Amino acid sequence: MSSNVSNRVKNLSESATLAMAAKSRELKAQGLDIISLSLGEPDFDTPDFIKEAAKEAIENNFTHYPPVNGYQDVREAISLKFKRDNNLDYPPENILISTGAKQSLMNVFLSLVNPGDEVLLPAPFWVSYSAMAEFSGAKQIIIETSIESDFKITPDQLRANLTANSKLMVFSSPCNPSGSVYLREELEALADVIAEYENLYVISDEIYEHINFTGQHASIGTIEKIKDRVITVNGLAKGFAMTGWRLGYIGAPQWIIKAASKIQGQFTSGANTIAQKAAKAAVLADPSVTHEMRDTFLRRRNLILRELNTIAGLKVNVPQGAFYVFPDISSYFGKSSQEGIIHNATELCIYLLSEAKVALVTGDAFGNPNCLRISYATSDEILLDACNRIKTALQKLY
């Protein structure tokens, strides 16, 4: 029978990061020696004190439906965290807890964006922003950057892309996939432009906040003149190694919280109760509990940069956060393997998977067709092996 799937889903692209991770699992299951540097997932286990809080939640029977917007005490804890770590003023009623930052983001897209509205995506952007924009019926306005500008947009670039239909700008800092971090002065300069457009909202995705090598994390939501138009998204997955717990949250003006809660009330009834209590323990802990993981990521970043810099033809930025490197590999376009000419980043990715048995993600998925994303959230040994394999495979191209 031919598929009768809705047009909405037909037009939705599959998550390239999850697709590559699934492909690697499939090849591994077939017995192939695949190294997967495709998925953005810390290789650490969740810290014990967080697991203990979850066990306690079960023992204390936090097993019933929660309030749709999240438990009051957990929202109070997040409110404290926002103030303590980010100097953001979000009282508990301005917080909504959801099933991962992914759901937090989608709630906001659906709450704000009408078909035809313009959504601005500074590229490279995280894959799902584009899918969410598409699903909301938005017109996507991609603002291109390059390695030369450290993959960051300038106020002039932003202004040049704004129109009367601009509704939402979405960015992450530290950035997935480039690892770039916006400094406070840079956010202030962007905020000056945003302030001129009263109908423009900003999603600031700060999920990599704790994996920041500059020692300074700046939140655009602290800038007075635009703070009523900023939605701050955060989550537990990256900084606390809690990807599987599926817990994220937003701080936002109350009307956005109300709209997003309405959506959540119809579709999920709220986030998992046990994960909420675990999240409370995580956000109340001193952020220094995340430092050991951050320091390990920094050491690995240095290792992978050292190795990548020995490969001819790669242009590599120095990521200041997250756990990705986003090298420009366009000098390989036009070269050939036994299978034929490599025209683009997607074909190079496929070549590296079949020849080097290393899974990476094409830059196309992130809005930059000249690059590849490498996730370095794995051991030194595996990273060294992967870099050697990549180098050997690239040297074979002619």
Enumerate binding residues for ligand PMP (CB under 6 A): 40, 100-102, 126, 172, 176, 205, 207, 235, 237, 243, 248
Binding mask 29-68 for ligand GLU (x = CB under 6 A): ----------xxx---------------------------
15 binds, among ligand PMP, ligand GLU, none (CB under 5 to 8 A by kind): ligand GLU
Contact 75, 98 (CB under 8 A): no
Nearest C-alpha neighbor of 277 from the set 89, 12, 29, 52 = 52
Q: Which is nearer to ligand GLU, 37 or 77 (CB)?
A: 37
Cite the beta strand spans of the chain per DSSP E. Answer: 35-36, 95-98, 118-122, 139-143, 166-172, 201-205, 230-235, 248-251, 324-325, 336-337, 340-341, 358-359, 361-362, 372-375
Chosen residue from 173, 176, 204, 219 binding ligand GLU by CB under 6 A: 176
Residue 172 interacting partner from ligand PMP, ligand GLU, none (CB closer than 5 to 8 Å by kind): ligand PMP
Question: What's the rounded Cα separation, in Å, for the pair 41 and 76?
Answer: 27
165 binds, among ligand PMP, ligand GLU, none (CB under 5 to 8 A by kind): none
Q: Which does 18 bind (CB under 5 to 8 A by kind): ligand GLU, ligand PMP, none?
A: ligand GLU
Angle formed at CA 133 by CA 132 and CA 139, multiple of 5 degrees: 165
Cβ-based nearer residue to ligand PMP, 207 or 365: 207
Q: What distance in Å separates the CA atoms of residue 366 and residue 147, rounded to the nearest whole number?
A: 14
Residue closest to ligand GLU when measured from CB atoms:
40
Alpha carbons 249 and 236: distance in angstroms, whole number: 9
Q: State in angstroms the smallest separation of the CB of 231 from ligand PMP.
A: 13
Binding-site partner at residue 327 among ligand GLU, ligand PMP, none, CB < 5 to 8 Å by type = none
Strand bridging mode 118-122 / 166-172: parallel
CB of 233 to ligand GLU, least distance (A): 12
Tokens representing residue 206 in the block: 């700060």
Q: Minimal CA–CA distance to 21: which of 379, 387, 377?
A: 377
Q: Please report where in the chains the tokens 């037009």 appear, as a residue.
A: 11
Tell me the residue nearest to ligand PMP as measured from the CB: 100
Map tokens 């423009």 to a residue. 200
Hey, what are 67's tokens? Answer: 């309030």
146 contacts ligand GLU (rule: CB under 6 A): no
What residue 39 binds from ligand PMP, ligand GLU, none (CB within 5 to 8 A, per partner kind)? Answer: ligand GLU
Sequence-ordered strand ranges (E) for 244-294: 248-251
Q: Whose Cβ is closer to ligand PMP: residue 256's or residue 377's?
A: 377
Q: Is the CB of 101 or the CB of 329 nearer to ligand PMP?
A: 101
Site of interaction with ligand GLU (CB under 6 A): 15, 17-18, 39-41, 126-128, 176
